Chains A and B, each alone.
With several copies, the nearest count.
Chain A
Amino acid sequence: MAHMNMIQAINSAMDVMMARDPDVIVMGEDVGYFGGVFRATAGLQAKYGKTRVFDTPITECGIIGVAVGMGAYGLRPVPEIQFADYIYPALDQLVSEAARLRYRSNADFIAPITVRSPFGGGIFGGQTHSQSPEGIFTHVSGLKTVIPSTPYDAKGLLIAAIEDNDPVIFFEPKRIYNGPFHGHYDRPARTWADHPGAEVPEGYYKVPLGKAAVVRPGEAVTILCYGTMVHVVATTIEELGVDAEIIDLRTLVPLDIEAIEESVRKTGRCMIVHEATRTGGFGAELSALVTERCFYHLEAPVERVTGFDTPYPHSLEWAYFPGPVRIGEALKKILKD
């Protein structure tokens, strides 16, 4: 076992897969010699060469379109989109092509690509380095969406994603690249140093797609979350002394509905926390599913705690961010009766 932060774990996942499978290639803006603006691909070009790890022109449409073509040839591309906020120019290639190729060609051609992209805020990145657009992708049939919350999961899920024969959107919560954020922007940042999720095997292993993790068992309320918010939620309930069951979804599509149902049936209450804007976010789908499937077990309405329906504002980002206070208020409400 090694100790890794999330960047190192992600780097290790690509390293392991490139060593195992000569068809895995890594591409994206600044991922080559430099190793990526977050250093996630550091060292890979030196190790695997320029034909397998290379910089690309700055066209997200082209990056994904080219990756789809490489996938059709038989490669297993792992393109990086530098920030999730910059994935929109690639949307047509993702939605109309990658997501549809297997279906429309009846598996004549497939798109086994894994699109890595840092997402989420809390780093004073302003409107265009902070977004959480997962709700756009979870609505698209044919795409899988994966979001890790620990280095261990990040590596295991990324390996599973790369091996998966379907296109996977792999969003990396950049706020927790270097440590599990507690939600208090005004307190010293944590590192991964003492976190069990930072114990990561050096070699190959998988965390299966489609399986959630119960991060903390509890009886009072089920909290569904993913990415950065797993840690913010965990800190908050600890601080408030709430016996919540925290479920880290890990994969949004396909969703681990069994884990959710089981927990909600047990606790009778369900809260959903995500950083993305509220209206039409993935929380809406979770809320709808829980109501549809656990209605008669619910003792209170499903509660959503989310970012607001505004762009991510630069200076007021901590008023936007669904932090401990917003979560705490929602807990008060859902546990009221």
Chain B
Amino acid sequence: MTDARRSNLPPLSLHVPEPRFRPGDEVDFGDIAVPPAGAARRPDTADPASSFHELAYSLVRVLDDEGRAVGPWDPRLSPDTLRAMLRDMALTRAFDERMFRAQRQGKTSFYMKSTGEEAVAVAAAHALASDDMCFPSYRQQGILIARGHPLAGLMNQIYSNKGDTLKGRQLPIMYSARDYGFFSISGNLTTQYPQAVGWAMASAAKGDSRIAATWCGEGSTAEGDFHSALTFATVYRAPVIFNVVNNQWAISSFSGFAGAEATTFAARAIGYGIAGLRVDGNDPLAVHAATQWAAERARTNQGPTLIEHFTYRAEGHSTSDDPSAYRSAQEYSHWPLGDPVVRLKQHLIAIGEWDAERHAAMDLECAERVKAAQKEAEKNGILGHGMHQPFETMFEGVFEEMPWHLKEQCQQMIDERKAAGI
């Protein structure tokens, strides 16, 4: 204590965040501020980002508790579009259920569900143009489903079977689907963020009209790539939409370890002078509206928008995870923003465009479609049961042309298999 400047002060202490509930705890989410639907204003898409900072701290919501669409953010979608969104979300959920079970049955090594977060992917996909480019994380399978990717194709990838267009090279769910405007998913978090910016900058440089959109989890915002991406985007006013899926959890660590105790994730945008919105991620209409708004900004050279989707990860992080070890089992049932599928269903019923029977029939149809797709996919094999890609494919695609050392190694592998009598 060599300096008078602090001689009277108590010692410092380190603050380490702690989530409010742990296994066994009673959950009370009363402290989560849920503004009424329709309350947030909708600025003109040409307004400067600095004129609506408050939107980074509130919550854009369209669907109220009675299932009505209210306020300036109501995207006024046709019933057909609403039903299509509902079906895509339901289908995503059915797909997740089935593939989760397939993993449990030993048919593959790994799976990740998006349960509870379907709106974030599906409603965004409906708001974007079909050839806008998506740079997703691993939890936006809803985009592929909304864009009509064949389910069996996704399953082939999950099974790493001989129908897998990625030749069994990638972990399950690490899809790549250029034809569906869906960038190759990386195992390394947030690397897609600057890539999306680069794609968007290229589109702008070429005088194209397509924009890019990217997604990451709230935990992943801590990576340096996030910052690089937002910096590039603000400097060059790149036509890109940054989605932060704040589902409260990053494996076992809660959003406080990414900075949620001090401010919102949407507020990150303000730091860069970028447009920022905080959206009820379980409200498909709000997600759609926010995406559409951000897309319009991007398309008119107003630059990037960051959207925080406030939602909840209903299931484990992946099939390797057991969330009951670190969070209260009550959390999801107490989640104040409900279930996106239920909320859209309610809305459609409220406006007289849907009913319980049609919903049940749709659920059944989704289950059947998934089942049929699974049957089709399993004809190509499941993981570890021999029906994989030819062994030589392992050496292809490292480079455009195979150099001598890979040719030699390929031959070595073939010789090995001969030696082993297989």
Contact = CB atoms under 8 A, between A and B. Distances in A.
B198 A70 contact: yes
B403 to A, nearest CB: 3
Contacts of B29: none
Interface in B373-404: 383-384, 388-389, 391, 393-395, 397-400, 403-404
A68 interface: yes
A54 B27 CA distance: 23
B116 interface: no
A50 B18 contact: yes
B294 interface: no
Contact of A92 (B161, B188, B257): B188
A99 to B, nearest CB: 9
A240 interface: no
Contacts of B222: 57-59, 62
B186 A72 contact: no
Contacts of B77: none
A61 interface: yes
Contacts of A69: 135, 194-202, 212
B168 A313 contact: yes
A197 interface: no
B228 A106 contact: no
A58 B258 contact: yes
Interface in B148-204: 160-161, 164-172, 174, 176-178, 183-184, 186-189, 191, 193-203
B224 interface: yes
Interface in A25-61: 25, 29-30, 32-34, 37, 50-52, 54-61
Interface in B91-123: 109-110
A127 B405 contact: no
Given A65-B195, A69-B195, A313-B394, A34 B188 contact: no
A314 B398 contact: no
A86 B188 contact: yes
B50 interface: no
A314 B257 contact: no
B225 interface: yes
Interface stretch (B280-288, B300-308, B350-358, B413-421): B413-421
Nearest to A166: B399
Interface residues of B, number: 92
Nearest to B393: A316
A255 interface: yes
A297 interface: no
A105 B184 contact: yes
B328 interface: no
Contacts of B223: 58-61, 89
Contact of A30 (B161, B253, B412): B253
B250 A61 contact: no
Given A72-B195, A108-B184, A61 B228 contact: yes
Interface string B250-276: 111100011100000000000000000
A126 B187 CA distance: 9
Given A97-B195, A109-B184, A128-B187, A66 B201 contact: yes
A75 B189 CA distance: 24
Given A65-B193, A254-B404, A128 B168 contact: no
Contacts of B206: 73, 75
A186 to B, nearest CB: 9
B330 interface: no
Nearest to B16: A50
Nearest to B191: A97
B232 A108 contact: no
Nearest to A49: B16
A127 B171 contact: yes
Interface stretch (A12-20, A198-206, A220-228, A303-311): A303-311
A117 B3 CA distance: 41
Contacts of B259: 57
Contacts of B198: 65-73, 77
B166 A104 contact: yes
B18 to A, nearest CB: 7
Given A30-B251, A55-B253, A124-B109, A315 B383 contact: yes
Contacts of B405: 254-255, 257, 278-279, 309
B357 to A, nearest CB: 41
Contact of A278 (B194, B399, B409): B409
A328 interface: yes
Contacts of B403: 210, 253-254
Nearest to B251: A30
A319 interface: yes
B253 A29 contact: yes
B397 A57 contact: no
A201 to B, nearest CB: 26
A316 B168 contact: yes
A69 B193 CA distance: 9
Contacts of B325: 34
Given A85-B188, A129-B171, A59 B202 contact: no
B148 to A, nearest CB: 17
A325 B417 CA distance: 8
A197 to B, nearest CB: 26
Contacts of A67: 198
Given A58-B189, A104-B184, A314-B168, A329 B416 contact: yes
B171 A125 contact: yes
Given A54-B16, A93-B194, A124 B251 contact: no
B136 interface: no
B194 A314 contact: no
B395 to A, nearest CB: 6
16 contacts: A37-B252, A57-B257, A61-B228, A62-B232, A65-B191, A73-B202, A75-B205, A86-B188, A97-B188, A127-B171, A128-B186, A257-B404, A310-B406, A311-B169, A314-B170, A326-B412
Interface of A: 25, 29-30, 32-34, 37, 50-52, 54-62, 64-75, 77, 85-86, 88-89, 92-93, 96-97, 100-110, 124-129, 141-142, 144, 164-166, 210, 253-255, 257, 278-279, 308-311, 313-316, 319-320, 325-326, 328-329
Closest 3 pairs between A and B when the two form their complex, measured CB to CB: A69-B198, A128-B187, A65-B194
Interface of B: 13-14, 16-18, 22, 109-110, 133, 135, 160-161, 164-172, 174, 176-178, 183-184, 186-189, 191, 193-203, 205-206, 212, 219-220, 222-225, 227-229, 231-232, 235, 250-253, 257-259, 320, 325-326, 383-384, 388-389, 391, 393-395, 397-400, 403-406, 409, 412-413, 415-417, 419-420
Given A68-B195, A85-B188, A128-B186, 12 more contacts: A57-B228, A61-B225, A66-B194, A77-B198, A102-B397, A102-B399, A104-B170, A104-B174, A142-B399, A254-B404, A308-B406, A315-B161
